[in-house]
Structure 1
């Protein structure tokens, strides 16, 4: 049996239709910046694992995004909660050799209205491990250079202002 969708396809298309695309290209001299990232974490003999990530984007130096990842062995699940920049996203698991950041940032071109662009970066990530009295903690820091992925296209509901 094929899954069905009760939401009319024509309304879905109208809902996701772009209402404004970026009118000008990103200037060649635009510097998308970087993230200063630090991570510390650990594990317990019971199987719990966690890490705290702190990311500060150079375009918003006074805004630090903090994300906490926790692995609960009893429920066999991972949870991540972040506070700070709402568009921030990262991809890294304990032990991975690289880390990826992504964020939407504003850009004003030729005095026009600020428009949103998506920046992303990946960097090798190494850390010091076997820290703490029990040897189950780690910490590391890295600078992740951002590159422009694409401009963000705004969408609006049909009939919305």
Structure 2
């Protein structure tokens, strides 16, 4: 997702009837500017859902196909199960299929994270629990050690 870092990283929205979710307005405007009519919704890590532009989804699948087969097959089964391309309606709403809502435990309120290559949708309570457990400093130090940089 090109230049998504220019959009606010977090915003809360509500699930509306029939599993429809209203995407953040600045995100909708960006999709409209790019003339994007649909997104791919897939399972993400840690209990979230990921939204991809169709081209970004294809690139992700290609990267998965280049991974060692034994490990990538298991990961692909988990991430791709239930993945679907959904069209945005005129009000900027997106239907999240029930199976994916159940996977992410989405009930009413969600949190959006806009990342450079995808957007993540989290159930608000699930995100709050995850955020309490994540060891921010330890992860940062580990990544810096592996990348050779220091903070």
| TM-score normalized by the length of structure 1 | 0.25
Q: Which of the two has greater strand per residue?
A: 1
Q: Which has the higher contact order (CA 8 A, sep 6+)?
A: 2
Larger-Rg structure: 1
